[in-house]
Amino acid sequence: MGMQAFLQKVLLLELWQGMWVTLKNQFRPHITVEYPRETVEFAPRFRGVPRLRKDPQTGEELCISCLLCEAICPTECISIVAEKRPDGKGKQLVSFTINYERCCFCGLCVDPCPTKPITAIYMSHDYEFAGYDRDAYVATREELVDGKPVKIYTR
């Protein structure tokens, strides 16, 4: 055992170095967020859950039932049922469901959407959807447009 190792053991240098780090950081402002009372601002490119969008001018749904988002989804969490329009031009949406338990939030469903200038499906900033039953994680067409209600946690 060298002299330096002996002095470190006797003088408890590691202990004093640790105490110095603690004392130095004691009076800095806290960076911990007290969730759920406080929330963090997300970056504009934050990917939350996928949602459906309505046309801002007409208020109609933008989804044209092309089934491209369902085809490209790697986890097969998107389920779309479409039928022919009564006038015979194109398809109309009957149901659109996303199982958030299976969704990996990759955003691949947004890329192939052919609606222009904005896509019918987008990654929202929603992220709070905890629940106790599996049915809470299956979002129907109405919930995808309006969003799931956010639970308010208070103490």
CATH topology classification for 50-146: Alpha-Beta Plaits (3.30.70)
Supply the pLDDT for residue 154: 63
pLDDT value at 11 more than 80: no
pLDDT value at 116 more than 70: yes
Q: Are 121 and 94 in contact (CB under 8 A)?
A: no
> What confidence category does residue 31 fall into, taking pLDDT thresholds of 50, 70 and 90?
confident
Supply the pLDDT for residue 153: 65
Q: pTM of this prediction?
A: 0.74
Q: Are 136 and 100 in contact (CB under 8 A)?
A: no
79: closest CA among 100, 56, 61?
A: 100
Q: What is the rounded radius of gyration, in angstroms, for the C-alpha atoms of the chain?
A: 26
Encode pLDDT of 60-85 as tens digits.
889 999 999 999 999 999 999 999 99
Domain ranges, ordered by start, for the chain = 50-146
Q: Are 140 and 122 in contact (CB under 8 A)?
A: no
Q: Are 80 and 93 in contact (CB under 8 A)?
A: yes
Distance of CA 27 to the CA centre of its chain: 34
Supply the pLDDT for residue 155: 58
Taking the CB of residue 66, how many other CB atoms lie within 10 A of it?
Answer: 17
